[in-house]
Structure 1
């Protein structure tokens, strides 16, 4: 025979390999059956054996796990490098744009202060009267009031604005010796003159009685309101100081849109009571009536 037959039956080495495989398989079955019988009839001994095997194999498993994590970290590190590089470039671009905006804001602020000096206009920034606790509010009624635990004895007077950490809450309408009643911005009787922060558009924030407000344009029609537009007090009317956040537009619309107040009285305990921005002058004294001459 010219060629040699390489099949398993004609090769002693392959026969020995197949026989060894059979022996290992049978041995594995026997060992598995023995472990199963041992775990069933002698659980403590099986538990000790299992822990001994785990103790012996833990260092090897830890080394293999470390090598695997090291290998897996290579593509992650490469991806992180490229991500950090692109993120760094993006942050540099944003920083350059922010510097330009900051320079523009500083220029506008300088011009504003210079014009105010020329017009002899001064800002009214008086110290607040006090900080009081909001002890109650009418959230389930169509009339929306809150109660302060401070009154006339603490210097609180009707007409004083009340604000929270986020924005305007309302104004004081009634005072007692140790308490004051606050008309909330969401009350139907509340009307607050405001302006839009992005362009100074004048508007009115009127309460609806259901926890929301209406934002209405003033003296103009076909005014477009965008979602998220922020409105702050304008100072018109002399009650509220300018610049206090009042409400945001919920949905875009024209002329009159739905808004939500920035400050929610139910979410905080304390409020700041301030003096009216331009308090009304006291009434003139009554004219003395001369007695009739005889």
Structure 2
């Protein structure tokens, strides 16, 4: 069907050109010439209009193809620039993260080892991280793991070139902590669902309230003293006459952690002065 239309169009153009080229005989008033002219002129005019219309359609089609090609090129260029902008933004964010991490490393009065997160275990929430440091880097089991905001967790498995980090929201995690404001001691334990609950915080001595910053107490020797752990979001007494119970929001956003510091050296110092008072906003 399409080929027939093209053939008809070409035929009309050829006929129009043929008719337009017909010359009526000169010589004043010969009636055969006048008759031919009278018959052909309307047809010539019509065919000339068809010819101009066809040429206009063809020209418009060529223009449309050109514009379409330009649009495709522009869209490709916009997409290329968008991807380039995202890469620049990612590089900028990574640079900021690394600068903060290295600045913290330089401030801390103990030896550390920087590591990159290479895997995350999800179970509705992030349960553990795997970092690219292992036995070859002399990583020890139970080494605390931190970010510039504070505590992330501790190493629970050391492999040849990697280490698995248990996060503080894991149900098998327990961290000796205290309220920075009142120095009231307690325990931060992970619970199913990825939450962290404060337990066994004595009511005496000022207790705990919403907004309090919780830091490691250093008791038990697993974690240095003064590592920020999280902020209290709700107090749940549960009818206990002796202890406070509360919910805690960790200072570290585990889903977004990409680089960490592993603490590889001992220290008896309070590390809190080397951290910001809370998570970055």
Q: TM-score, normalised by structure 1?
A: 0.49
Equivalent of 2:253, from 261, 264, 268? 264
Residue in 2 aligned with 1:214? 197
Residue in 2 aligned with 1:155? 138
Q: Secondary structure at the match of 1:153?
A: helix
| Higher mean C-alpha displacement, 170-179 vs 270-279 | 270-279
Q: Secondary structure at the match of 1:251?
A: strand
Q: TM-score, normalised by structure 2?
A: 0.51
Q: How many residues align?
A: 155
- Structure 1 residue ranges without an equivalent (≥5): 1-123, 280-294
Matched, 1:172 2:155: yes
Matched, 1:198 2:177: no
Residue in 2 aligned with 1:117? none
Give the Cα–Cα distance (whole angstroms) in 1 for the partners of residues 182 and 202 of structure 2.
Answer: 16
- Structure 2 residue ranges without an equivalent (≥5): 1-107, 238-243, 269-281
Q: Deviations over 1:11-34 (max 9, x none)?
A: xxxxxxxxxxxxxxxxxxxxxxxx
Distance apart, 1:218 and its partner CA: 4.1
For the structure 1 residues 277 and 195, does the alpha-carbon distance in structure 2 shift closer, same or farther, using more than 3 Å as the test?
farther
Conservation of the 8 A alpha-carbon contact between 1:195 and 1:232: yes
Q: Deviations over 1:110-169 (max 9, x none)?
A: xxxxxxxxxxxxxx93221x1001122223257821111110101111010000111100
For the structure 1 residues 278 and 165, does the alpha-carbon distance in structure 2 shift closer, same or farther, using more than 3 Å as the test?
closer
Give the Cα–Cα distance (whole angstroms) in 1 for the partners of residues 220 and 150 of structure 2.
Answer: 18
Matched, 1:238 2:221: yes
Residue in 2 aligned with 1:247? 230
Q: Secondary structure at the match of 2:156?
A: strand
Structure ranking higher in strand proportion: 2
Residues 54-69 of structure 1 mapped to structure 2, 5 A cutoff: none
Conservation of the 8 A alpha-carbon contact between 2:211 and 2:233: yes
Moved over 3 A (4+): 218-224, 276-279
Distance apart, 1:266 and its partner CA: 1.7
Give the Cα–Cα distance (whole angstroms) in 2 for the partners of residues 178 and 258 of structure 1.
Answer: 36
Q: Deviations over 1:44-72 (max 9, x none)?
A: xxxxxxxxxxxxxxxxxxxxxxxxxxxxx
Q: Secondary structure at the match of 2:234?
A: coil
Distance apart, 1:272 and its partner CA: 0.2
For the structure 1 residues 253 and 276, does the alpha-carbon distance in structure 2 shift closer, same or farther, using more than 3 Å as the test?
farther
Residues 33-182 of structure 1 mapped to structure 2, 5 A cutoff: 125-128=109-112, 130-140=113-123, 144-182=127-165
Distance apart, 1:271 and its partner CA: 0.3
